[in-house]
Amino acid sequence: MGCSGRSFRVIYPLCDEFPFFQHFSADQFSAKIKIALGVFQILDISSKTPYVLKVVNRPFYEPHETEVICQELKNLQTFRGVPNIVQAVGIAVSTNLYTTLNTKGQPLVLIGIVLEFCSGGSLEKVLSEHCLLQHF
C-alpha cells in the first residue's frame, strides 16, 4: 500500500519508493534517547556519529502519519543542500516488523527517517519557548 491508500494499521512504505536516500539498517544504531513522541537521538555504532531518528510506528499511530512521513521525505529531497534546513542523512530500513511470514526474501521497508543531529533541542521546543528570534 506504501505512501498511498487508507489503512487502520501501521503502514511501512517500501524502501524502493525512496531510492535517492541512503539506507541504514535498523541495527546499525544504538543509544536511543527520546527527544519527542516518535523522535529519538541515536548513535551510529560504527562512526559514533549522533543522528535523529523519526519513526513511522509512533505511539498512538494515526493512519495518515505514514503519508505525512512520505511527504516529509519528498520535502527533504526537494530541500537537499539548502542552508539552514536540517538535512536527511537517509532512511532506516528493516523487514516489516509485523510480518507473520518467513522474512527471507521479504522486501525492506522504511521504518524511519535519519536526520542530521543539531544540538539545542527540537524546533517544537524552540517555538514553544518563543525564543526563535534569539537564535538569529
For the chain, the domain total comes to 1
pLDDT at 79 over 70: yes
Residue 4 in domain = no
Residue 97 in domain = yes
The predicted structure's pLDDT at residue 1: 45
pLDDT tens by residue, 88-117: 999 999 886 666 666 567 788 888 899 999
- Domain at 47, CATH number: 3.30.200.20
Give Cβ neighbours of residue 7 (< 8 Å, ≥ 6 apart): 1, 63, 66
Tell me the average pLDDT across 22-46.
87
The parent domain of residue 74 ranges over 15-135
pLDDT at 135 over 50: no
